[in-house]
Structure 1
Amino acid sequence: MPKGFRTYAGITLGAVLTAVALNMFLIPNKVAAGGVSGMATVLHYLVGAPVGVTMLALNIPLFLASIKVLGATFGVRTLYGAAILAAAIDLTAPFTPVLTHDLLLSSLYGGVLSGVGMGIVFRFGGTTAGTDLAAAIINKITRISLGQALLAVDFFVIASAGIAFKSAELSLYALISLWLTSHIIDLVQEGPSTAKAFLIVSDASETVANRIMTEMGRGVTFLQGKGGFTRQPREILFCVVATNEVVRLKELVNSVDPAAFVIVADAHEVMGEGFTRRQL
């Protein structure tokens, strides 16, 4: 499948899933979980404006900004994603069933499904414009993740919706949905944590490395470091193992050097020998 076709197919899938989440759970229950969609939801109930068309109109300034900040290619993908989402919202609204009017259930399921949809759009290099575009710009110039950036820039929309609907309760439910959406976006972007990365500082680094390679069949990389207090060179072992091997590796290191300094961190999308390569 050509890469360009795969990219736009992925953006389309993500935008449609996001539209379904909005029509099935969020918009019917007045849960304005941030973003341009939240602003459009408020306007829909205040003046009767169609949500999709309103979103497209609000996105024009952000689209122009995306071309300047993120480049023309990103701008084209943004325009495509925004257009597909706007069309999908208005076209599917009459046919999308509203599964629940319980505010908690609609916030939970709407947040998860919209997070999956927007995460897919981001993963394929696009956005649906709106505040997720602002989040993409922040992500480009800072180290803040897309999900965290989206959480920050959407907060004021939720507050505005609470004022417009005269309901603090709706804002609280919207915060739940937004929190879920931001975390699901990061999960879709990074993938689940399927492995653990170890950094090991030990006076018996050679012995530890040999036992890891012979007993566990995992590769080890020697990194060169220097002690902050002693200013003496130190070898640091770097190793990635499956999650079910974490306890075994901890016990192995402890049996060789109980005083070893060990850091364990999540590793996402590990590719290479001993791990499965993931494809988009």
Structure 2
Amino acid sequence: MKLNARNLVLILLGNFLLAVAVGYFILPNNILSGGVAGIAVALHSFVQIPTDWIVNGLVIGLFFVGWIFLGKDFAIKTVLSSFVYPIFLTLISQFNIPLTIDPLLASFYGGIIGGVGIGLVIRTGASTGGMDVPPLIAHKYTNISIAKLILITDFFTVLLGLLAYDLEAVLIGIISVFTTSFAIDKVLLMGGQESKSVQIISEQYSIISARIHEKLERGTTITDAVGGYTNNAKKIILVVVSQNQYPQLIDLINEIDSKAFIITTDTTDVHGEGFSYGYRV
């Protein structure tokens, strides 16, 4: 990873926001959030160790686990986060601003702020360390989406709280998990252009393709296919259009062949002329 000035600023800002979320909202209100903060809150009832010490220990320990399983590149990308975040959290704990806030609001805002911080770090290609490590290891061996794995890991982290807290605390914690996931998605997709990937099967493929070039000024790809039931040769048109062009595309197709078979997929990561560069985990 090339750690340029922009990436350095994003990593520092992201870790600071995460520390703010944990230090001001999650730990003071004993919110069973995801990540190492949620584990610290759950374990605090069993081991009388300050929660910020537990968080710092988990972050550093999981960094070395990631180094072992994910290699040197991971270590280089994550070392800054793994050591800067505990420093930020310790400073915030020392200069804490007392906030009297409803636990529901603390869970919501802690999740949003923390999610924004994590998203900023991931946009640079780095990791915040901590409980990001197990999902990254699982992704390496399963190829399941990292975002889904983080959500699953955080969900089970919150359920761990049932050992020490009641169901209400767990339900409040789930708010933090889902708001964190929502904020991460929004930050990662920020600057990307949502588009539609469309496959069209029609006997009038040549006319439809030409009209797409002419009316929508989008390129197309035509591939050969064989019907699985009829064994008849077919042509498939592949085209990617922006969200606002999609209704025009459907109207255009229907004007030429109302019986055309259309398959549409949402996409936010389109690289090439006419589209923005997005980022998807």
Provide the TM-score with structure 2 as the length reference. Answer: 0.87
**Structure 2 match to 1:26:** 26
User: Does residue 91 of structure 1 match 2:87?
Assistant: no
Structure 1 residues 26-175: aligned runs within 5 Å:
26-43=26-43, 49-95=49-95, 97=97, 101-164=101-164, 166-175=165-174
Instruction: Could you list the structure 1 runs, at least 4 aligned residues long, displaced by more than 6 angstroms after superposition.
Output: none
Using the alignment, how far apart are the partners of 1:125 and 1:226 within structure 2? 41
Task: Figure out how many residues of one structure are paired with residues of the other and give that number.
Answer: 277
Amino acid at match of 1:146: I
Q: Quick check: 1:188 aligned with 2:187?
A: yes
8 Å contact kept, 1:205–1:237:
yes
For structure 2, the residue ranges without an aligned partner over 5 or more in a row are none
Q: What CA distance in whole angstroms lies between the structure 2 residues aligned with 1:112 and 1:183? A: 8
Is 270-279 or 11-20 further displaced after alignment? 270-279
- For 2:199 and 2:99, locate their aligned partners in 1 and report how far apart those are by CA, in whole Å: 48
State the match for 1:230 in structure 2: 230
* CA gap 1:99/1:268 in 2 versus in 1, 3 angstroms: farther
Q: In the alignment, what sits opposite 2:11?
A: 11
- 2:74 and 2:93 map into 1 onto residues whose CA distance is 28
Q: What is the TM-score when the length of structure 1 is the normalising length? A: 0.88
Are 1:52 and 1:87, in contact at CA under 8 Å, matched by a contact in 2?
A: no
Shift of 1:60: 4.1
- Percent identity over the alignment is 35
Equivalent residue letter for 2:274? G
Residue 275 and residue 154 in structure 1: after superposition, are their counterparts in 2 closer, same or farther (change >3 A)? closer
2:26–2:37 contact (8 Å) kept in structure 1: no
Deviation, 1:91, is: 0.7
Question: Is 1:251 the equivalent of 2:264?
Answer: no
Please say if residues 189 and 278 of structure 2, whose CA atoms lie closer than 8 Å, have aligned partners that are also in contact.
Answer: no
Match of 2:271 in 1: 271
- Residue 209 of structure 2 is matched in structure 1 by 209
Q: Distance in 2 between matches of 1:105 and 1:197?
A: 39
Provide the C-alpha distance between the structure 1 equivalents of 2:98 and 2:32, rounded to a whole number of angstroms: 16
Q: Deviations over 1:194-244 (max 9, x none)?
A: 221111111111111111111111111213322212233322111111111
Structure 1 unmatched ranges of 5 or more: none
Are the aligned partners of 1:52 and 1:85 in contact in 2 as well (CA < 8 Å)? no
